């Protein structure tokens, strides 16, 4: 499973872990991904997608169809 949001395209970011003595070493910041099933009434089917929790909040607010339409127009949606 790729650590990437299927809707927004958010991925892992890289940064520095900084110790108390200010030594730096590389670390990774992973997105908060959740595997969720959604029903698409227009297509009459269920889809399972990896989405970030921020997208889940947007889906709860405005609905799965409008979110998919918005991100398909942007070109980031892979669903």
pTM of the shown model: 0.81
pLDDT digits (tens, 9 = 90+) for 12-53: 999 999 999 999 999 999 999 999 999 998 889 999 999 999
Tell me how far CA of residue 25 lies from CA of 14, 21, 48, in angstroms.
11, 12, 36
The secondary element (H helix, E strand) that includes residue 60 is helix 53-62
Confidence of residue 54 (pLDDT cuts 50, 70, 90): very high
Q: Is 67 helix (H, G, I), strand (E, B) or coil?
A: helix
The pLDDT of residue 14: 97
Taking the C-alpha atoms of residue 28 and residue 13, their distance in angstroms, rounded to an integer, is 6
Q: Which CATH class, in words, describes the domain spanning 13-74?
A: mainly beta
């Amino acid at each position: 499973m790729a650590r990437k949001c299927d809707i927004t395209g958010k991925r892992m970011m890289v940064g520095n872990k900084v110790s108390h003595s200010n030594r730096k070493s590389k670390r990774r910041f992973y997105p908060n991904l959740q595997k969720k099933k959604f029903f698409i009434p227009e297509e009459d089917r269920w889809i399972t997608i990896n989405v970030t929790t921020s997208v889940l909040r947007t889906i709860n607010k405005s609905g799965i169809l409008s979110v998919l339409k918005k991100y398909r127009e942007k070109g980031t949606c892979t669903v």
